[in-house]
């Protein structure tokens, strides 16, 4: 990771978040949002390669060194968007860009659609819209979510006897990553516990959503975005197979080789994504 990175904490009143700060003080303000169960180190390779940007890479609530939400609270997309706006208010940023990967890209799209005058540009990596649902599934989905919440009370987090085993578990997670990527995420994600190591992330992050937007509702956020937007599609990632969706998006799109974490898995992928973003921002 670049020696120029600075660790900061942001007290938003309702929660305290940790973040990494990159780039020149007079750079274009950008808030970077990582993916589900990742943390600010998701941008450890990419951010130092970006030019002209003042980047605040957050540990989202419940992730990394950030606080978990209070008992009884949940991790809805709207709550993440509220956190980001609070961060911008604390930094004095009336307008700011958003750099988002996966879940972070979804949050970015929703915030840019909801408050289009606040967001100056969108830089999205292999993520756009949340999973959608139908009206007919609403009752069943809520029931499933409630049952999962009750079951969570009796579950315990996995404990790995060694740091190495914790890293290997992340490499083989729902979305596989390279060893170097897992090691970077583990720096902010693994914590010593009796018997070994466990991941810091809030167990409630694994709960199913109690409600989903319809396709029309999800696309409404895209339609309300006013700022320039660049979407990086990983050739072996999650978006590449959704060609019908990609054809509907009014965004500049660039397809790059690599998997879902192409910006983190290796230096080559980080460089390709950085070159794309630097060109889009006019800093190439």
Domain ranges in the chain?
A: 6-133+215-281
Please report the pLDDT score of residue 184 as a whole number: 98
E strand residue ranges, 117-189: 119-125
Q: By C-alpha distance, which of 250, 253, 229, 226 is closest to 239?
A: 253
Please report the pLDDT score of residue 1 as a whole number: 43
28-33 β-sheet, strand order: 6-11, 16-22, 53-58, 28-33, 96-101, 119-125, 229-236, 252-259
E strand residue ranges, the chain: 6-11, 16-22, 28-33, 53-58, 96-101, 119-125, 190-193, 196-199, 229-236, 252-259
DSSP lists the bridge partners of residue 252 as 230
Please report the pLDDT score of residue 283 as a whole number: 87
Please report the pLDDT score of residue 154 as a whole number: 87
In angstroms, the CA 53 to CA 142 distance is: 41
102 a catalytic residue: yes
Q: What is the CATH number of domain 6-133+215-281?
A: 3.40.50.1820
Please report the pLDDT score of residue 105 as a whole number: 98
Whether 89 contacts 96, CB under 8 Å: no
SS3 at position 196: strand
Average pLDDT, 10 consecutive residues per value, the chain (284 residues)? 79 97 97 98 98 98 98 95 98 98 98 98 98 95 96 92 97 94 98 96 96 96 98 97 96 98 98 98 87
Q: State the catalytic residue, choosing from 102, 108, 120, 198.
A: 102
E strand residue ranges, 59-205: 96-101, 119-125, 190-193, 196-199
Number of C-beta neighbours around residue 79 at 10 A: 16
Whether 85 contacts 108, CB under 8 Å: no
Please report the pLDDT score of residue 69 as a whole number: 98
In angstroms, the CA 48 to CA 192 distance is: 29
In angstroms, the CA 263 to CA 255 distance is: 13
> Which value, in Å, is the radius of gyration of the alpha carbons in the chain?
18
């Amino acid at each position: 990771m670049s020696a120029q990175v600075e660790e900061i904490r942001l007290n938003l009143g309702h929660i305290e978040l940790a973040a990494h700060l990159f780039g020149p003080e007079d750079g274009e303000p950008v808030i970077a949002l990582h993916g589900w169960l990742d943390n600010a180190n998701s941008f450890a390779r990419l951010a130092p390669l970006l030019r002209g940007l003042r980047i605040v890479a957050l540990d989202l609530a419940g992730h990394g060194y950030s606080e978990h939400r209070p008992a009884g609270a949940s991790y809805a997309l709207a709550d993440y968007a509220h956190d980001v706006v609070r961060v911008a208010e604390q930094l004095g940023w009336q307008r700011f860009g958003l750099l988002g990967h996966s879940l972070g890209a979804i949050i970015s799209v929703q915030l840019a659609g909801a408050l289009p005058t606040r967001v100056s540009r969108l830089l999205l990596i292999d993520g756009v819209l949340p999973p959608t649902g139908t009206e007919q599934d609403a009752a069943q989905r809520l029931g499933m979510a409630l049952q999962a919440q009750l079951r969570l009370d009796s579950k315990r987090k996995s404990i790995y006897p060694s740091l190495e085993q914790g890293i290997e578990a992340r490499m083989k997670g729902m979305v596989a990553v390279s060893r170097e990527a897992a090691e970077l995420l583990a720096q902010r994600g693994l914590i010593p516990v009796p018997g070994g190591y466990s991941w810091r992330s809030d167990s409630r992050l694994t709960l199913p959503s109690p409600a989903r937007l319809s396709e029309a509702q999800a696309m409404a956020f895209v339609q309300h975005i006013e700022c320039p937007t660049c979407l990086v599609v990983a050739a072996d990632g999650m978006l590449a197979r959704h060609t019908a969706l990609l054809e509907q998006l009014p965004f500049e799109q660039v397809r790059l080789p690599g998997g879902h974490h192409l910006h983190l898995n290796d230096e080559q992928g980080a460089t390709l994504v950085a070159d794309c973003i630097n060109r889009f921002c006019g800093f190439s």
